[in-house]
Amino acid sequence: MRALAGMALSFFLGAFFLSLFSTVQKILVGYPLIYKSYLVPVLAGGVAGSLLWLWPFRLKREREKVEHLNLVLHAMGRINRLMMEERDAGRLLRGICEALVENRGYYNAWIAVLDENDRLVQAEEDGLGEAFSPLKRMLERGELTDQARKALGRPGVVLTDNPSSTCTDCPLSPAHRGRCAMTTRLGYEDRVYGLLSVSIPRALRAHPEEYALLENVASDIAFGLYRNELEEKHRQDTQRLREKEHRFRKLTESCLIGICVIQNNRIVYQNPENRQILGQFPEVIGEGYLGLIHPDDREKVREGFRKALSGEIGILDMDFRLYPVDPGGARKQMKWVHCRANLFTYHGEKALFLNLVDLTQAKEMEALLRVQDKMSSLGRVAAGIAHEIRNPLSGINIYLKTLEKITENAGDSEKIKSILDQIQSASNKIESVIRRVMDFSRPGAPVFSLTDINTPVREAVSLSQVTLRKTGIALDIDLKDPLPKCLADPYLLEQVVLNLITNAAESMKDMEGVKKIAIASSVENGRVRVTVADSGPGIPEHLRDKILDPFYSTKNGSTGIGLSIAHRIIADHGGALIVSSSPWGGAEFAFEIPVAEGAEES
């Protein structure tokens, strides 16, 4: 009303002064005074007076808008500082509301963070006080006002021109009487975090810069919430990782297997069990560490770790001997260890992960068992020697007594010569038994050379072919040709094959029906395999563990040393002699010898 009265007064004053000016002008010129001629000066003067009255008000409003925008920009500066400094979501939102209301930039402001179901997670306000509580409870129940739903449903600012009359479902309507409300969503990328709403003078409701500033503030708030969310997730992930590392460290620290990590030629981690195994092992792994390895194992250890570090092999498995060091630097008693090593990434760099198991007690037990086996074998050897020598010795004694009687009676010299021949034969038998025992106890060292295994096999077959043909035994030869060469002693392998053929033939000596021996060679998994199978009675499964023992035999009149010597020869070649059943129900003996490194089939 005051504005209308002022405008009316300005209109009348403008009309009066312009009419007065027109009257004076007419009197001076001498024009007659006609009432109708005053209509234009009255209207023109009134309009001019009204414009003169409105001009200061317009300037004032423009100044108010500029001041308001300056306040908002000042608030945005504070908001940016808060975004950089504040990590607590509650204090951040509260500080933003205070910044927006500071110096009456906005009458009031509130921020609501919502979950995926539009239920309130957190809310902060400034300028409303207790008037905000009903809206907060409403949001906690998941209920939204019409304007809030509109703002969440689309980007941009939703303007409520007169909330007290147009937004009747909002509990804040009475607090916005004579004002406007602007509401926008807090969105970053594809995520909507909640709502920002402010109250402004109605005169500023159509200002486009106002909308842009509010949208920028909402975008900054959403980014701050997004950043805090990421930082919280990162903090939680870091905490979980630390807990896992703590659990893993406790596990490794209490593990009974030595665990060690070597990186850049340094031991960067080892658990207590590893320290127990290695002692005061140098942390810097240089060539000096080989001095603590047993001399016979140094080259194997050096080459094994070289291959593991270069990636030539995925997993390194080896046994070796080392000398732990006490705190004073003195060597302790030698230990056997089993080492498994593989490459992995440790703190972003290549490293070697080692597992060490102390095998010392196991090796000592193994050695003890070998001694027991040797003692057991020695017992059988002694029994065999006693048995084999007793018979010829008894014969010698009988022949000597007979010779004594003949000599006393001046007997026939021819008869004496015959008795002496029989004594010589019995002595030869004793010598043969002793020689076999000596071969078993101290077999000759193999002379290794690159050998085609088929060659000694063919030599053994050639030596036994005539005998087999006379006894009616069919021979089936199936040799893979060519074979990759092996490091072997061909003469010892010929002895092994000949022994196996002889044993097979003797097992079928008194047998009726088909007599057959099959000899084959092949390559399997980097090893040459030779098999000798027969159609004889076979070897019962419960006797197969004993058949390779010295002086154990299933044949009458046999010393039982041949297979033991064959087994020893194959073991010296790094192979094994295996006993099984043949396809015809007889016995099958097979041995495998490793192919020489780098050997090719020729």
Which sequence spans correspond to the domains of the chain? Answer: 2-66, 86-232, 258-358, 363-441, 449-594
What is the pTM for the complete model shown? 0.43
Percent of the chain surpassing pLDDT 70:
71
Contact 484, 599 (CB under 8 A): yes
* CA–CA distance, 210 with 204 (Å, rounded to integer): 8
pLDDT for position 402: 73
pLDDT band at 225 (very low <50, low <70, confident <90, very high): confident
The angle that helices 89-101 and 208-253 make with each other, rounded to 10 degrees, is 160
Q: Reduced to 3 DSSP states, what percent helix, strand and coil does the chain have, rounded to the nearest 5?
A: 55, 20, 25
Average pLDDT value for residue range 63-77: 67
What CATH number should be reported for the domain whose range is 258-358? 3.30.450.20
Which of 508, 417, 416, 493 minimizes the C-alpha distance to 458? 493
159 vs 17 pLDDT, higher one: 159
Averaged confidence pLDDT in the chain: 78
Q: How many helices (H) and strands (E) does the chain have?
A: 14, 17
Average pLDDT value for residue range 100-107: 70
CATH topology of domain 449-594: Heat Shock Protein 90 (3.30.565)
Tell me if 86-232 shares its fold with 258-358: yes
Percent of the chain surpassing pLDDT 90:
14
Strands 486-488 and 179-188: unpaired
Which of 485, 488, 414 minimizes the C-alpha distance to 447? 488
The number of beta carbons lying within 10 Å of the beta carbon of residue 62 is 10
Which range is most confident: 295-299, 336-340, 446-450? 336-340
* CA–CA distance, 125 with 136 (Å, rounded to integer): 10
Query: Minimum mean pLDDT among 17-31, 238-252, 536-550: which range?
Result: 17-31
In the 3-class helix/strand/coil scheme, how is 25-78 assigned residue by residue? HHHHHCCCCCHHHHHHHHHHHHHHHHHHHHHHHHHHHHHHHHHHHHHHHHHHHH
CATH topology of domain 363-441: Helix Hairpins (1.10.287)
Quick: pLDDT tens for 460-518. Answer: 898 888 788 888 899 999 999 889 999 999 988 988 998 899 888 888 888 888 899 99
Quick: pLDDT tens for 164-176. Answer: 677 778 888 777 7
* CA–CA distance, 578 with 72 (Å, rounded to integer): 93
Quick: pLDDT tens for 308-364. Answer: 888 888 899 999 988 888 777 777 788 899 999 999 988 888 999 999 999 888 887
**Placement of tokens 């312009």 in the chain:** 18
Query: Minimum mean pLDDT among 263-272, 396-405, 531-540: which range?
Result: 396-405
* CA–CA distance, 184 with 148 (Å, rounded to integer): 8
Average pLDDT value for residue range 178-201: 86
* CA–CA distance, 212 with 191 (Å, rounded to integer): 20
16: pLDDT strictly greater than 80? no
pLDDT for position 601: 47
* CA–CA distance, 133 with 143 (Å, rounded to integer): 14
- Say which residues have a Cβ less than 8 Å from residue 115's Cβ, sequence separation at least 6: 121
pLDDT band at 23 (very low <50, low <70, confident <90, very high): low
pLDDT for position 113: 92
415 vs 516 pLDDT, higher one: 516
Tell me which architecture the domain covering 86-232 has in CATH.
2-Layer Sandwich (3.30)
Quick: pLDDT tens for 548-599. Answer: 665 555 555 455 567 777 888 888 888 878 888 888 889 999 999 999 877 6
pLDDT for position 576: 79
pLDDT band at 538 (very low <50, low <70, confident <90, very high): confident
Contact 392, 427 (CB under 8 A): yes
- The one-letter amino acid code at 529 reads R
pLDDT for position 602: 45
Average pLDDT value for residue range 526-530: 91
pLDDT for position 441: 52
Which of 355, 375, 374, 371 minimizes the C-alpha distance to 363? 371
Structure tokens at 261: 């990590």
DSSP notation for 277-329: HHBS--SB-SGGGGGGB-GGGHHHHHHHHHHHHHTSSSEEEEEEEE--B-TTS
